[in-house]
Amino acid sequence: MKIGVVGFSRNQFDQKAARAKLKMHLETILSTHLASELELVSGYTNMGVPRIAYQLADELGMATTGFSAKQALRVRAGLYPVDKKIIIGERFGDESEAFVAYIDVLIRIGGGPQSRHEVSLFRQRYADQNLDDILMEEEVDLYGK
């Protein structure tokens, strides 16, 4: 099962709350699946919600996949050392449709326009299904602008 995680890609948010909320959702999934059956897929950068997601995946024994556009290769914060890399398109957002097609579950922790667009694409993709077990959304405080 491929678990997509989206959210703030910068670090000016309540990281402690984000980590707790994300960990809760991952542990719920782990209550019915083995870690070896799970692949955590996020934005590949080593900052924000993607970094928290990858750290938790590493702690929980899940495989990690970095899914992004080529623009991620130029981010100052660097790239998280994931198990698998998928690069599609040039600019952030170019990969959104392929990302949503790749995942089975989506967890959003805060986030801006791209995260919310990916939730919208996910809702469209699974419009004929009950989303209660495959779409989880949480808000966290954003600091600054």
Burial of 51 (C-beta count, 10 Å sphere; 0-12/13-18/19+): buried
pLDDT at 145 over 70: no
10/104: higher pLDDT: 104
Who's near 55: CB < 8 A, 6+ residues apart?
none
Would the pTM of this model clear 0.85, i.e. be above it? yes
- Alpha-carbon torsion (8, 12, 18, 20), positive or negative: positive
Q: What is the pLDDT of residue 11?
A: 85
Q: DSSP strand E in 2-144: where?
A: 2-7, 39-42, 63-68, 84-87, 105-109, 135-138
The domain made up of 2-113+125-138 has a fold known as: Rossmann fold (3.40.50)
Q: What is the pLDDT of residue 73?
A: 86
The domain locations on the chain are: 2-113+125-138
Read off the pLDDT of each residue in 7-25 and give the average, rounded to a whole number.
94
pLDDT at 109 over 70: yes
- Quickly count: other Cβ atoms within 10 Å of residue 113's Cβ: 8
**What token pair was written down for 111?**
């986030």
Burial of 13 (C-beta count, 10 Å sphere; 0-12/13-18/19+): buried
- Phi/psi of residue 4, each to 5°? -85, 140
Who's near 100: CB < 8 A, 6+ residues apart?
4, 106, 118, 121, 122, 125
- Quickly count: other Cβ atoms within 10 Å of residue 76's Cβ: 7
| Strand, helix or coil for residue 111 | coil
Per-residue pLDDT band for 74 (boundaries 50, 70, 90) equals confident
